[in-house]
């Protein structure tokens, strides 16, 4: 037999090395060819473990097949231990192997510094600025003057939307040249308001509801652009990159989150992000960005309006009310 040249022991060691090399380098290299991706797809650790275990089981059967094969497998080991391949290599192996095993045991048994999960306070108040406590969302209650201005805007041909939405609005208008711009927001209250506008008989309360719809529409768009990657389409904290964060983005539909705090608190959290969190809230660093750097105050309030609406929650009412 060919493998007799390396002996049973040698062929066991060789097989292990070859199988490991196939899993570690060949499969990823072939996967790169097949998928055409610019990077190889590595084999997951658990799969490597299973493949190696199967290989070891097969080799075990190969070695224990008969008494002769066991003896053949053991022979080089015995000769090595007797020092027939040299005293120095034997002594070196006899020192290094126990040291490696000892290190491995120490590494797994040594106590690790890990903070218990309960230490994190989700809504810390130690450095929450008092003046935010009674803040109200300036967009939630349109004044009569704002409603009047909105009716004006709606009847003019000029779309009055946040700049981020204008390219989409222009594309929509070129596809629907006969419709008023507000019809792009296809909800029942907006439709009712547009009907009233056409008949020249506008009810202020309906106009107010339509204005709120428009603000929600803008807020949702800003939410999708800025918050969705982490907090998810439906505010469930399950956006596409949520799994990549150790401290998960908050699920706003959970009753213990934005519903238990006043609006001013949510505004403060959105504005200052993970940066402003005091020590009691940071056993892990928060990936929540500091939005006051990238969004105007009005944009932040628009998003908060949409955020509560998406999560179907209302903020806590400040104590003074």
Site residues, ligand HEC (CB under 6 A): 122-123, 226-227, 229-231, 245, 247, 249-250, 257-258, 266, 269-270, 274, 277, 286-289, 291, 303, 307
Which residue do the tokens 């768009």 mark?
A: 221
Least distance from ligand HEC to the Cβ atom of residue 150, Å: 24
> What is the chain's alpha carbon radius of gyration, rounded to the nearest angstrom?
33
Q: Which of the 8 DSSP states describes residue 172?
A: H
The β-bridge partners of 316 are 262
Residue (142 or 237) nearer to ligand HEC, CB:
237
Distance CA 49, CA 159 (A): 61
Start-end of H helices in the chain: 7-21, 27-35, 45-63, 67-81, 87-109, 144-155, 166-175, 188-199, 204-226, 228-231, 263-272, 297-311
Choose between 73 and 252: whose C-beta lies nearer to ligand HEC.
Answer: 252
- Least separation in angstroms between residue 233's CB and ligand HEC is 13
Decide whether 190 or 250 has the Cβ nearer to ligand HEC: 250
Q: Residue 268 half-sphere exposure, CB side, CA atoms within 13 Å? A: 19
* 273 φ/ψ sector (left φ>0, alpha ψ -120 to 50, else beta): left
Nearer to ligand HEC, 202 or 235 (CB): 235
Return the number of the residue (220 or 269) whose C-beta is nearest ligand HEC.
Answer: 269
- Enumerate residues 6+ apart whose C-beta is below 8 A from 119: 280, 283
Taking a C-beta distance cutoff of 8 angstroms, is the pair 280, 125 a contact?
no
Kindly tell me which of 11 and 286 has the beta carbon lying closer to ligand HEC. 286
Q: How far apart are CA 93 and CA 114, in angstroms?
A: 36
Chain residue whose CB lies nearest ligand HEC: 227
Nearest CB to ligand HEC, comparing residues 146 and 259: 259
Q: Mapping DSSP to helix (H, G, I), strand (E, B) and coil, where does residue 292 land?
A: helix
């Amino acid at each position: 037999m060919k493998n007799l040249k390396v002996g049973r022991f040698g062929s066991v060691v060789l097989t292990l090395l070859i199988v490991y090399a196939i899993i570690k380098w060949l499969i990823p290299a072939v996967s790169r060819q097949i998928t055409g991706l610019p990077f190889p797809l590595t084999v997951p650790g658990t799969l490597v473990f299973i493949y190696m275990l199967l290989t070891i089981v097969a080799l075990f059967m190969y070695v224990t097949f008969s008494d002769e094969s066991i003896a053949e497998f053991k022979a080089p080991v015995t000769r090595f231990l007797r020092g027939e391949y040299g005293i120095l290599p034997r002594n070196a192996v006899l020192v290094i192997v126990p040291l490696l095993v000892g290190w491995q045991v120490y590494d797994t048994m040594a106590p690790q510094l890990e903070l218990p999960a309960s230490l994190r306070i989700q809504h810390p108040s130690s450095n929450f600025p008092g003046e935010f406590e009674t803040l109200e969302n300036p967009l939630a209650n349109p004044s009569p003057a704002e409603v009047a201005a909105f009716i004006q805007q709606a009847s003019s041909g000029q779309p009055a939307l946040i700049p981020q939405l204008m390219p989409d609005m222009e594309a929509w208008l070129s596809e629907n040249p006969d419709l008023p711009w507000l019809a792009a927001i296809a909800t029942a209250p907006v439709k009712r308001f547009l009907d009233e506008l056409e008949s020249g008989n506008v009810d202020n309360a309906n106009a107010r509801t339509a204005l709120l719809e428009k603000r929600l529409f803008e807020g949702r768009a800003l939410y999708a652009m800025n918050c969705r990657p982490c907090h998810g389409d439906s505010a469930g904290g399950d956006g596409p990159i949520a799994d990549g964060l150790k401290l998960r983005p908050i699920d706003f539909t959970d009753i213990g989150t934005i519903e238990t705090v006043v609006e001013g608190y949510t505004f403060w959290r959105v504005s200052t992000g993970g940066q402003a969190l005091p020590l009691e809230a940071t056993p892990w660093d928060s990936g929540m960005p500091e939005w006051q750097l990238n969004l105007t105050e009005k944009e932040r309030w628009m998003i908060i309006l949409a955020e509560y609406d998406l999560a179907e929650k209302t903020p806590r009412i400040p104590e003074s009310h």
